[in-house]
Amino acid sequence: MKILQLVSDWKWTGPAEPMLVAMAALRERGHQVDLVCPEAPPGANRSLWEEAMLRNLSPIHPIAARRSAVAAGDGERIRRLRQWLESDELAGPYDIVQCWHARDHVLGARALRLGWPGAGRPRRSRLVRFDVGSSRLAAWPWNRWLYGPACDGLICVSDALEKNRGAMRGGRPVSSTSGAIDLDALGTRKSRRGVREELGLPESAELVGVVARMQAHRRFDLLLGALARIAPERPDLRLVLIGRGTHVDEVVRMPARRLGVADRVVFAGYRVQDYADVLRAMDVFTFLVPGSDGTCRALLQAAALGLPLVGTRRGAIPEIISNGQTGLLVGEDPAAIASAWSELFGDPDRRRAMGEAARNDARSRFRPDRLAAWLERFYREVRAFPV
């Protein structure tokens, strides 16, 4: 098949990495898979364009980056996109056009005249939305159009979200799948002890790892509240935060001081080359709220590195964590989180067994080749569905 990944966001965030992982795996299976995305603005640190080039998945053409789903000048962009999708002007025509954000979804739908009155005409391309959102959507008119006639196929990241979005599909193809991670990229070079020394921590420290952008909606208040509860019981426990954010003082530092646990919080920073090394040095991984990538990539990576997991029932999390086997599912309150940490650190043998089970599960379920095979089947279902 000829497949185009249409992405309207230049940032290396959200679905950017899952998209490249899927793209590479589909190419491995013999498909032509191309990428169209915005170039990074001057001074950007990491971007989708740059990362795609580093992985030999270079974009074939740039598109303008815009934040809103509809923007001034879209008429000409849509006419141009229509030529790319359904002719050989760029590299088409494409069998599948896959989009990841609301803006690229709307551009693709308008280019293919999906959901437009009087637009019934033969067309080769089918539009598939891979929705990495993690929240339920209300059946407002906009959502009913976007997730209904405005896409030929819809992919969700959990069964619960498939049920929610599926109610707007009107019988059109919809399904759900877990994400996939680049297992080869999780090779480690530094020793566990070496990483802990770099962080100023002894080998005996009990480390709870968290990977998240430091924003209020990621519920750092719950993490710090749990830390305050468990601190008297486990004096060696530390909360290690891997990531960055512009609101770190308001979201983490000041609340930690108020709770008297500032000395228990370790800021590991934003990691690139040694990300897997730092993550593997943790004892337990905790993930409370999905960010802009509803596949919960960091949770999958922690599992693949053999960490027992603690998570809530938000989004895809309860479909990733097998409660009592690969980790523990908890309520969204500090007492429940602290209780889970206490349970895992109080029973090292069980903690290690859960970590090993998480590793085996992740390396079986979240493989790129497995996702690529699933996508093939779904694409065929979409193409067989009458338009």
Same structural domain, 175 and 265: no
Q: Could you identify the residue written with the tokens 């601190």?
A: 231
Q: Which is nearest to 168 in space by CA: 153, 147, 154, 151?
A: 147
pTM here is 0.90
CATH no. for residue 18?
A: 3.40.50.11930
Question: Which ranges of 30-149 does DSSP label H, i.e. alpha helix?
Answer: 48-54, 74-86, 102-111, 141-146
Average pLDDT of the residues of the chain: 91
Structural domains in the chain (count): 2
Same structural domain, 200 and 319: yes
Same structural domain, 139 and 8: yes
Same structural domain, 48 and 134: yes
Q: Domain limits at 204? A: 184-365
Same structural domain, 138 and 10: yes
- Confidence at 105, pLDDT banded by 50, 70, 90: very high
Whole-number percent of the chain with pLDDT over 90: 70
Same structural domain, 31 and 134: yes
Same structural domain, 245 and 103: no
Same structural domain, 226 and 123: no
Whole-number percent of the chain with pLDDT over 70: 97
CATH no. for residue 350?
A: 3.40.50.2000
Cα three-residue angle 183-325-203, rounded to 5 degrees: 65
Angle between helices 16-28 and 368-384 (to 10 degrees): 80
* Beta-bridge mates of residue 210: 241
Same structural domain, 203 and 113: no
DSSP 323: B
* Residue partners of 201: CB distance under 8 A and separation at least 6: 207, 238, 266
Give the pLDDT score at 228. Answer: 96
Same structural domain, 205 and 341: yes
The DSSP element (H or E) to which 375 belongs, if any, is: helix 368-384
- φ/ψ of residue 366, rounded to 5: -110, 30
For 90, the 3-state DSSP assignment is coil
The DSSP element (H or E) to which 161 belongs, if any, is: helix 159-166
Which of 12-21, 205-214, 267-276, 334-343 is modeled with the greatest confidence?
334-343
pLDDT digits (tens, 9 = 90+) for 292-341: 888 999 999 999 999 999 999 999 999 999 999 999 999 999 999 999 99
Same structural domain, 31 and 162: yes
For residue 82, give both structure tokens: 């229509």
- Confidence at 122, pLDDT banded by 50, 70, 90: low
- Confidence at 145, pLDDT banded by 50, 70, 90: very high
Concatenated DSSP letters for 189-228? Answer: -S-HHHHHHHTT--TT-EEEEEE----GGG-HHHHHHHHH
Same structural domain, 113 and 227: no
Whether the link from the prior residue into 149 is cis, omega within 30° of 0, is no
Cα three-residue angle 76-82-83, rounded to 5 degrees: 95
Give the pLDDT score at 71. Answer: 72
